[in-house]
Amino acid sequence: MKQRLYLHPYALAGLVPAGFFLVFYVYPLAGIGVRSFFKNGQVNLFFLDQVFQSPRMLGIIWFTFWQAGLSTLLTLAAAFPCAFVLSRYAFRGKGLLQLLASIPFVLPAVVTAAALQACFGKDGGMFGVRMEHPLALILLAHVFYNFSVMLRIMTGFWSSLQGRVREAAMMLGASSFRVFSTITLPLLRPAVLAASTLVFMFCFSSFGIILILGGPSFSTLEAEIYRQAAHLFNLPLASFLSLVQILFTFSLMWVYTSFTRRAARFMPKAQQAELKKPVRVWEKLMVAGVAVFVVGLCTAPLAALVVKSCIYEGRFSPAFYTALFQNVSGSIFYIPPVHAVQYSLIFALISLLIALVTGTCAALFIRFCDQRFTSAWASFFDPLFMLPLSTSAVTLGFGMIITLDRPPLNLRTSFFLIPIAHALVGFPFVVRSILPALRSIPQSLTDAAAVLGASPLKIAFTIDLPLIAKSLAAGAIFAFTVSLGEFGATLFTARPETPTLPVAIYRFLGQPGAMNHGQAMAMSVILMLVTALGFVGIENFRKQNPEGF
């Protein structure tokens, strides 16, 4: 029986993500550690002087931390009152408002940067407001990008508190302010800390926004890793900075998971809050104010981006879009932007297949651990497969190009290195989409099929996979949209003749001329529409199959 148990198809499925994980995640990161401290088999620490005795490098490290902290505080200040209103009141258009608030986070960083430039940059000022200082644009971009993360976490937790705690305290004579200050706020604190830690980690590892909006004057660890590796070819220093980045983001992920466990411990699960309709004038004004703020924050930059892409020489024109299909420079080395669209779609499809296969196998293996072993096994492998989420894409891409350069893994110039990197980034999203749906399948259902003589493979193809079909589709959309918008790893792994949309947008934004800037805006609009449609599709699957997410 033990032999048959370990030859279960779901146990064997774990070999697929394990091999993928070891070769394309663990090995590159280990290579970064080796390159940091060893050269020709000997310990090499000369680059430490370049870090700890360089005012510029120390300034970069300090700026990385304090801009992430300030961005987190600003995002919390923007999301907290909105979470209060959305968790307490039911009103017409609330679902659409939550959808609009969520779209910025699924947009690629290069689209966010282009949208903020179009709306508030030196050539922007669409609404009469210009932000000349790059730091102001960076902070606003981080708030715009991470607002939905903070809002979703706090709204979900706060809604569960409204149902039980508030009503019980009010019945005992407590005022609304006392309920909020002595009961709601202390219970809400773990969710606020979890959301703040996650947003801090995203801002700490921000790359595309810093690279495009900050320029050389405002560099973070992520941007400096790229500069040292790609421009100065100082691989030991870039490796050491990557190692620092890895250790700190892993620490942040550990803090985040501890806060989420604390939040889950106090979160009421048995009762859903009954939301009230805004009746009083101040309640209606509060709801209206939140609606205006969310719509303004989340749609104004995107609307400015669309408008900028359609204005050529002061009038409405599709010139920037038609130029995507033309060789406007007349150079034989020029690659029309439409080729970037084609390569992005090809890479996204290949990445989708890789991430879907590895992610499904990982989810099946974790489900097998749930059923046949103690929960400790699943508790180990579940967060293990989530590690790429806490690792910067820049670090992953850099690790790949410095380690996957020798047979039998000589992939540095391979066409498939880009979709492999994209699949590694999208792989955790697939696992998170599929695993809850697998866990929602009653154990009694599969046991009954086994008693009737069904083999494990037959149970998988006739029961498990059909029941998680919608979650599989959502995971596929996740992998596809993540691949389309991936920028950090692609900047390292992409070859000049095979650019993707984010890389092409970055290159055009860095070139002078209205036509180059306009084409970048046009490509950003295309990428924005595709990723937004993908997110709407995911939300549709989530509503139809809520237990799968």
DSSP code string of 180-209: IIIIIHHHHHHHHHHHHHHHHHHHHT--HH
Q: Taking the complete model, does pTM exceed 0.85, yes or no?
A: no
* pLDDT tens per residue, range 223-273: 888 888 878 778 788 888 888 888 888 888 788 877 776 766 655 554 455
pLDDT band at 376 (very low <50, low <70, confident <90, very high): low
Residue 27 lies in a domain: yes
Beta strands in 359-486 (DSSP E): none
* pLDDT tens per residue, range 37-89: 777 666 667 767 777 778 888 888 899 999 999 999 999 999 999 998 888 88
pLDDT band at 176 (very low <50, low <70, confident <90, very high): low
CA distances from 519 to 108, 113, 315 (A): 17, 15, 16
What is the per-residue pLDDT for 172? Answer: 58
Residue 378 lies in a domain: yes
* pLDDT tens per residue, range 500-523: 889 888 888 888 778 888 888 888
Residue 324 lies in a domain: yes
Residues 6+ apart with CB under 8 A from 375: none
Residue 153 lies in a domain: no
**Range of the structural domain that residue 417 is part of:** 1-38+314-549
CA distances from 295 to 93, 109, 112, 124, 292 (A): 12, 20, 16, 19, 5
> Residue 138 in contact with residue 67, Cβ under 8 Å?
yes
Residue 266 lies in a domain: no
Residue 529 lies in a domain: yes
Query: What span, in angstroms and rounded, lies between the C-alpha atoms of 460 and 453?
Result: 13
Beta strands in 1-132 (DSSP E): 38-39, 42-43
Element (H, E) at 162: none
Residue 425 lies in a domain: yes
Residue 56 lies in a domain: no
Start-to-end Cα distance in the chain: 34
> Residue 520 in contact with residue 509, Cβ under 8 Å?
yes
What is the per-residue pLDDT for 330? Answer: 53
- Reply yes or no on whether the pLDDT at 423 is more than 90: yes
In the chain, the number of structural domains is 1
Q: What is the mean predicted confidence (pLDDT) over 175-189?
A: 71
- Reply yes or no on whether the pLDDT at 393 is more than 60: yes
> Residue 507 in contact with residue 464, Cβ under 8 Å?
no
* CATH number of domain containing 546: 1.10.3720.10
